Amino acid sequence: MAPRVLVSDELSETAVQIFRDRGVEVDFQPLLGKDKEKLAEIIGNYDGLAIRSATKATEKLIAAATNLKVIGRAGIGVDNVDIQAASRRGIIVMNTPFGNSITTAEHAIALMFAVARQLPAADASTQAGKWEKSKFMGVEITGKTLGVIGAGNIGGIVCRKAIGLGMHVLAYDPFLSAERAQEMGVTKVELDDLLAKADFITLHVPMTDKTRGILGKEALAKTKPGVRIINCARGGLVDEAALAEAIKSGHVAGAGFDVFEVEPATESPLFGLPNVVCTPHLGAATTEAQENVALQVAEQMSDYLIKGAVSNAINMPSITAEEAPILKPFIRLADVLGAFVGQVTESAIKEIEILYDGSTAEMNTKALTSALLAGLIRNQVSDVNMVSAPIMIKEKGIVLSEVKRDKTGVYDGYIKLTVTTQNQTRSIAGTVFSDGKPRFIQIKGINMDADVGQNMIYISNTDVPGMIGFMGTTLGEGGVNIANFQLGRDQQGGDAIALLYVDAPVEQEVLDKLTANPAIRQAKPLVFNVD
């Protein structure tokens, strides 16, 4: 029986035809995504679900999708898919990471022009029969300084176009190397420096805990008077209420917003303010982009359902059926090693070295490296996958090297990750035992044997008496239950580390009590995607 795919959002007829041509039975119901009850009622009949942004693949819907094998999102953002719920059910989630990058970048540039010249208000005034030429005095783009927050795929395109317009470009991106910035023709700066110097600011970062409210009240107060702010990335990156006050006070001269804290945006503090241009999330809304991502998702889903090929998967490595039994545990290990370093590293990464020792050197190291890199940058780019991660690393100018060697130690095979930043070099190694679970075997050159849990705490401290008792007491008083506790040190009185496997996320207040001890240099909460 041919696999069945439900298309519950608007996809082009060409994309629908691709399914049919590849031998997939397709049910095209583009309005169904807005009817949650009806969608849940019939989703169990399908092997695949092709969506845009209207359909919400919630935990409840996924629970009803008893036969579903793959969800394909035509576009990059997967905020409307419960990836954890899908993973638990063994459902692959695919996206199309690069199909609408140019379109989104162009929209940011268009909004910048619209705000600079007050085009919407001037149009409305003129069509109302007024001729208020003196009222709409604008500013030139040429020669102005553009601050780009996030210089990845889309942000990089904006940088190139802005330079072509004769603008000076400042870029803030923790993962952007100085060498890559030079190649791009931009100046790499810290956020405060960008805020102080930019005439225009545009945001191109994902929504994470670190980026949420990145332009809040305090940050906006640091901006240059007369600045104009553009957001075509994610709602919530900018505090809309704080920005509205800054516009009313005259500190901010204008804003162009395509995304909002609550969508659909029927109201916002920005609505009705002078020189604020708002559009209804049109960043990817061009015929070219919509066609590109639709065709891509149809091809990817068909290849998986017919051939078993996996590409651009958020939650599944690109591996063959033959490799899967051996490779999957090490894929998980690679992701964990990358995620560890990504969560504890705060400065820009310059170099990455991955060592495959023993049996791991004979595996599909391309898949392992992709999984490791995805884990490494997931803290900064939430929707990264194994396909897009290596490209993003390359775009950021980070030097990546792989080393393979024969077995050198007691382990049949292990992976070691070494990351060099502007401030330090950090390393971590891990292996997989016969139970198929990842384990940490070395951190910062200190040997240990530690289980990997979903919630962990990494503590770096000076080796002094009483630390074990202090850590245990502090965590116990904070209601934290310790499942496992591993320690290590380089020498007596030297550097020591502790890795704790805990039952639940740890409150910041508890971590602050730990770091209040002068012997503790760092106490980082860690979260890993493990069973």
Which residues are catalytically annotated? 234, 263, 281
Measured CA distances, 148 to 170, 386, 453 (Å): 6, 26, 37
Q: What residue spans of 217-350 are helical by DSSP H?
A: 217-221, 240-248, 287-307, 324-344
- Length of the chain, in residues: 531
d(CA 116, CA 389): 35
Q: Hey, what long-range contacts does 60-69 have (CB within 8 A, 24 or more apart)?
A: 61/36, 62/86, 62/89, 62/91, 63/89, 64/40, 65/89, 65/91, 68/43, 68/44, 69/3, 69/304, 69/305
Q: How many CB atoms lie within 10 A of CB 49?
A: 29
How many whole angstroms separate alpha carbon 244 and alpha carbon 233? 18
* 3-state secondary structure (DSSP) of residue 23: coil
Other residues' Cβ atoms within 10 Å of the Cβ of residue 382: 19
Rounded to whole angstroms, the Cα distance separating 453 from 501 reads 6
Place of tokens 């997931």: 378
Pairing type for strands 200-203 and 276-278 reads unpaired
The sign of the torsion formed by the CA atoms of 198, 203, 204, 210 equals: positive
**Longest alpha-carbon distance in the chain:** 84
The two counts, helices (H) then strands (E), for the chain are 17, 22
Token representation of residue 111: 């909004």
Q: What DSSP character marks residue 30?
A: T
Looking up tokens 């379109």 gives 103
Compute CA distances 194 → 142, 169, 206, 247, 319, whole Å: 18, 10, 19, 19, 42
Q: Is 270 left (phi over 0), alpha (psi -120 to 50) or beta?
A: alpha
